[in-house]
Amino acid sequence: MTTASATRATRRRAILDAALTVFLKSGVAGATVEVLHRASGASVGSIYHFFGSKEGVAAELYIETLRDYFDTYLAVLQGNSTARGGIEATVRTHLEWVAANELRARFLFHCREYEIIDESRPAITALNEHFYGEASAWLQPHVEQGRIKPLPPRLCQALWMGPCVEYARLWLARSTEFDMLGAGPVLGQAAWNAVKA
């Protein structure tokens, strides 16, 4: 990477990092390009050059975060050859990812602003299709060999991930502290019990 490319990448990263804090504080609708400029140190021109608009910044932040979450999840899932191992490991991974990326998780799981969803709909759809396709490909042999219930793949994934996703949402919205990671074994066992054949 050339020095100019590294500088552009650093500036782009600074905009996204600052935007995360700004959007969590004000929402996308309440933020302005001027606020993003002040928070990131990047020029207004740079923000428009890289992202086109504040909605473009929000969309890229959302897509980047979703991609990171999906990549982390799939790496763990595909790294497990046993049905139970994959189910329980992805539950733990979800909780660990949320704990390690609290601000990004807040943005990803709580941001439902129309501007982001509309701006990034094709990319979100492509990421979702890839994610569910890969997860379904991992599931299929376990279903065929009678280890996991023969359910529609998304229903199966909702059964196994639903409780841990909800628990992580409660942790993100908490008014009192509680040990989210400590619940991993219980939630992993519950997930396995929900989908095992």
Q: What is the pLDDT of residues 89-141, one digit of tens each?
A: 999 999 999 999 999 999 988 776 666 667 678 888 999 999 999 999 999 99
pLDDT at 109: 83
* Token reading at 89: 């490991």
DSSP for the chain, written as a single string: --HHHHHHHHHHHHHHHHHHHHHHHHHHHH--HHHHHHHH---HHHHHHHHSSHHHHHHHHHHHHHHHHHHHHHHHHHT--SHHHHHHHHHHHHHHHHHHTHHHHHHHHH---HHHHHHHHHHHHHHHHHHHHHHHHHHHHHHHTTSB----HHHHHHHHHHHHHHHHHHHHT-SS---SGGGHHHHHHHHHHHHB-
| Residues contacting residue 73 through CB under 8 Å, at least 6 positions apart | 90, 93, 94, 97, 131
Q: What is the pLDDT of residue 155?
A: 94
CATH assignment, 59-195: 1.10.357.10
Q: Where are the domains of the chain?
A: 1-52, 59-195
pTM of the complete model: 0.90
27: phi > 0 → left, psi -120 to 50 → alpha, else beta; which?
left
pLDDT at 176: 80
pLDDT of residue 118: 72
pLDDT for 175: 74
Q: Tokens for 182, please give them.
A: 């400590």
| Contact assessment for residue 120 and residue 112, using Cβ atoms and an 8 Å cutoff | no
Which stretches of the chain drop beneath a pLDDT of 70? 1, 112-117, 119
Buried b (16+ CB within 10 A) or exposed e, 132-163: eeebeebbeebbeeebbeeeebeebbebbbeb
Residue 113, pLDDT score: 65
Domain 1-52 has CATH 1.20.120: no
User: Max CA-CA distance within the chain?
Assistant: 58
Contact 33, 48 (CB under 8 A): yes
